Structure 1
């Protein structure tokens, strides 16, 4: 498995044989020492231009065309050429097989590092974490993207680029509100999915009646039937509905079959990325812990030299660098740094706990099996629950965490929680809450619509902690919803705790 010198590689140059030999060795050690379980790996070598292109299309190997991807490409290229931002050394895709992009400009030491990070660390997390297992279909995503790319291209040929872009613009604007958060969407195998899509689209195109687009509302704008009460409407439409794209796709009277399918494509892609937004600290922490552990094992076994190890440690240090709050480079908590520290802290608690650790973590302190403890954590948590479960007082002190109370009516900040018994609980809870996307994303739901009356679509925004939507973005979003719905749309803001009505905004107030 190693060269005659005993090293996997020497020097910075690499070829495919060396890359394959390094991967096989790293994978064997990962299985033996860390008990990782991964998808088969497909590694592809790409240039910096191709990496920029991957950035622009959210990292997917197959993606439909849209002007926003080109805009993003030009922005990233400008930053890269002027030295304002570097490129990722790798990109990894949650698919089966797991696709890993490696930069051709990387040295061999860096290729070994990112192989361990992406092809083993991220790969294991994708395959085993419960969110990815429940919400994504790694075996079908590539075939679905291939279908989506071809379908949208055919729509552009048949209907024109501008009409397709209008639908995509509106759907992209609603992607954050186009996911199911609390129940699992149906999952189909790729073969059944392709066949079902083909049959459904053919049927809808045969049965579509354009008269529905011009059907006028009732003259008086009231209920058409006495039995059509609000309660019955909500029951028949399964309201309230949190997934705005799903509701529009299924219930809009103005959309043609191809437009519904374009919305569905955007919705499926938004759902695919939903677990990744909830597991950034865990996912990057797992991958960083894996690469750091494996690279040290390679060095300890004499498979990489001191020069390679120094280069690996330099790049590792850059990845986990955490600027101070008063540093111009500070942009928040580095998920690589916090994730790695928490993984290593779990390892310490499992093998060499303090009395404090035994009080806080009686189930894992001193169990001696840090590998299984980490595997269980990686499989069964997301960022919010992981931090709430495993952040220790030791790490709170190391990171110098504390809680600031920032009430809108108070002229000063107040240090609400410090490093004491009660403070540790509050700090951990506050940090975990900040990673709960349910708390940080606006809670907007469809609450009522009279399809047999004026078809006025009513949305409700539950305002938490007095944080209302920014006016310009809110109005632009309402216009996008109206474009897909075809009739008036309004949004009522209500206090999440009291239910008190705060204000209402409708498309009739903001115009086209």
Structure 2
């Protein structure tokens, strides 16, 4: 630290940084985060990386260890092209939900930005990862890095043993089905990294000995058998196979008779990764809002304590303002609600309701309005909600007015939109419920399930898409995806679209009629 910084009480001067300055600033941030905000975090591991390494991290979903695949390279080239042309910048940081929590910091950052992103990622995101119920139930931060190391090594060994041409199509097909490769309701069992590796070894050895003949020994229908099937037969078969099944990769991994043991393990690797990222898809507003609120609060507290200069604070606020900028609906830059802006605004609003409530706030939020404990209220919200429930419970009329939110109705039979609700007394509930529903991943992701497969017959795999609001799957996309399903299944595959709440079939596509 320079002599002037020592005498002034500032943590640093100017834009330059070194590791001593990082350590000192980290300790100051930690004191506020844990002491004043009451955050609970995993141990932190900060990594300083270059812009090219950040691009590489982008391309592999931010994981420090991951198997090779052409899609990661394609993503890298795409991001690098836009970065070099100046069409977009890079994130100042990237954080991994692991224990220890790994945060990548760009070496090109100024010291002001290193301070902001450390507070944002190493404490805001870190706390959310460790304490939110979805991450606690569905991910294992202790095991993910070891598992990714295993996955990378396992697929590399498969490439050496069976060849890239054999491995790549399996990964391609698995990646095409990643959105339909998660358990949404039934939590998968956990195991430690050591038990996981032992389980893999034992299962592969057993399957190499036994699985290839397992399904082939099922009795087949004879020529004189009655091909008709009673409802009881169908019900018993579905019960035996635990149908319907929402996790397509899981069902194929366990029941396809054409896959070799190593191919099944690749499917398992891809769906484990899909499951790991599933909570992040449900908490974008909350996760980014939490991290943004934390960094904003911490840097203002540091300034109030004389640890940051006005210049440093202004630089941080400039970046913060860019992050939470929300273009208007009629702005050419508008692409929907900015999750940083919405999450941060809601959390600031909760702080206001706890400390300076209006009579309207007391009517809408009697549980916490005026309780004075905004830290405890936010900690509870961060722990117990996902985006949908958070918006449905905490979005206030005051914020709806401030953001000028309104709800549109889009009827397929009409050639125009209709404004259904605006930010007034009659519209608050409708706007809040409509916005919350737009973040419900169960509504927005296609509901596709395995509904039947006859192992005693032609092994035809039947998938069913429950169509909501008349929104069917794109014909070209569903045909392309079914080709991947058939590649893994080995027999005819069909997908039917059934209207929700009725038995009406809207479309049916069969992989047996598609060109391979």
| TM-score, normalisation: structure 2 | 0.96
Cα 1:216–1:90 shift into 2, 3 Å: farther
Is 1:164 aligned with 2:164? no
Is 1:415 aligned with 2:409? no
Aligned to 1:140: 143
Secondary structure, aligned partner of 2:350: helix
Conserved? CA contact 1:224–1:452, under 8 Å? no
Is 1:14 aligned with 2:17? yes
Aligned to 2:257: 253
Match among 121, 126, 130 for residue 123 of structure 1? 126
| Structure 1: 5+ residue stretches without partners | none
Conserved? CA contact 1:204–1:257, under 8 Å? yes
CA distance in 1 between counterparts of 2:320 and 2:86 reads 20
Is 1:371 aligned with 2:375? yes
Cα 1:257–1:221 shift into 2, 3 Å: farther
Aligned to 1:455: 459
Note the C-alpha offset of 1:207: 3.0
Conserved? CA contact 2:496–2:507, under 8 Å? yes
CA distance in 2 between counterparts of 1:223 and 1:136 reads 48
Aligned to 1:74: 77
Number of aligned residue pairs: give it: 512
Note the C-alpha offset of 1:429: 0.2
Alignment of 1:90-239 (within 5 A): 90-209=93-212, 229-239=233-243
Conserved? CA contact 1:218–1:454, under 8 Å? no
Secondary structure, aligned partner of 2:327: coil
Aligned to 1:47: 50
Match among 16, 22, 30 for residue 27 of structure 1? 30
CA distance in 2 between counterparts of 1:13 and 1:198 reads 50
CA distance in 1 between counterparts of 2:434 and 2:364 reads 17
Aligned to 1:439: 443
Secondary structure, aligned partner of 2:427: helix
Note the C-alpha offset of 1:6: 1.0
Match among 242, 245, 255 for residue 241 of structure 1? 245
Kindly provide the CA deviation profile for residues 17-75 of structure 1, in whole angstroms up to 9, marking residues without a partner as x. Answer: 11111111101111111000000000000000000000000110000000000000000
Note the C-alpha offset of 1:330: 1.5
Aligned to 1:61: 64
Note the C-alpha offset of 1:216: 11
Cα 1:486–1:215 shift into 2, 3 Å: farther
Aligned to 1:314: 318
CA distance in 1 between counterparts of 2:303 and 2:287 reads 25
Alignment of 1:332-343 (within 5 A): 332-343=336-347
CA distance in 1 between counterparts of 2:227 and 2:246 reads 27
CA distance in 1 between counterparts of 2:362 and 2:401 reads 17
Kindly provide the CA deviation profile for residues 136-166 of structure 1, in whole angstroms up to 9, marking residues without a partner as x. Answer: 0000000000000000000000000011100
Is 1:305 aligned with 2:292? no
Match among 481, 484, 501 for residue 485 of structure 2? 481
Conserved? CA contact 1:288–1:340, under 8 Å? yes
CA distance in 2 between counterparts of 1:102 and 1:213 reads 54
Note the C-alpha offset of 1:173: 0.1
Conserved? CA contact 1:121–1:286, under 8 Å? yes
Note the C-alpha offset of 1:420: 2.7
CA distance in 2 between counterparts of 1:470 and 1:224 reads 34
CA distance in 1 between counterparts of 2:69 and 2:41 reads 33
| TM-score, normalisation: structure 1 | 0.97
Aligned to 1:466: 470
Conserved? CA contact 2:212–2:257, under 8 Å? no
Conserved? CA contact 1:223–1:453, under 8 Å? no
Cα 1:196–1:3 shift into 2, 3 Å: farther
Cα 1:438–1:221 shift into 2, 3 Å: farther
RMSD of aligned residue pairs (Cα, Å) = 1.9
Note the C-alpha offset of 1:460: 0.5
Cα 1:325–1:28 shift into 2, 3 Å: same
Alignment of 1:348-363 (within 5 A): 348-363=352-367
Note the C-alpha offset of 1:210: 6.7
Note the C-alpha offset of 1:5: 3.2
CA distance in 1 between counterparts of 2:353 and 2:472 reads 42
Aligned to 1:404: 408
Match among 75, 88, 91 for residue 85 of structure 1? 88
CA distance in 2 between counterparts of 1:162 and 1:215 reads 32
Secondary structure, aligned partner of 2:116: helix
Kindly provide the CA deviation profile for residues 454-490 of structure 1, in whole angstroms up to 9, marking residues without a partner as x. Answer: 1000011100000000011000111000000000000
Note the C-alpha offset of 1:201: 1.8
CA distance in 2 between counterparts of 1:293 and 1:499 reads 53
Conserved? CA contact 1:221–1:453, under 8 Å? no
Conserved? CA contact 2:288–2:343, under 8 Å? yes
CA distance in 2 between counterparts of 1:4 and 1:267 reads 55
Secondary structure, aligned partner of 2:64: coil
Secondary structure, aligned partner of 1:421: coil
Conserved? CA contact 1:52–1:73, under 8 Å? yes
Cα 1:386–1:441 shift into 2, 3 Å: same
CA distance in 1 between counterparts of 2:221 and 2:170 reads 27
**Structure 1, 195-204 or 78-87: larger mean CA deviation:** 195-204
Match among 285, 288, 300 for residue 284 of structure 1? 288
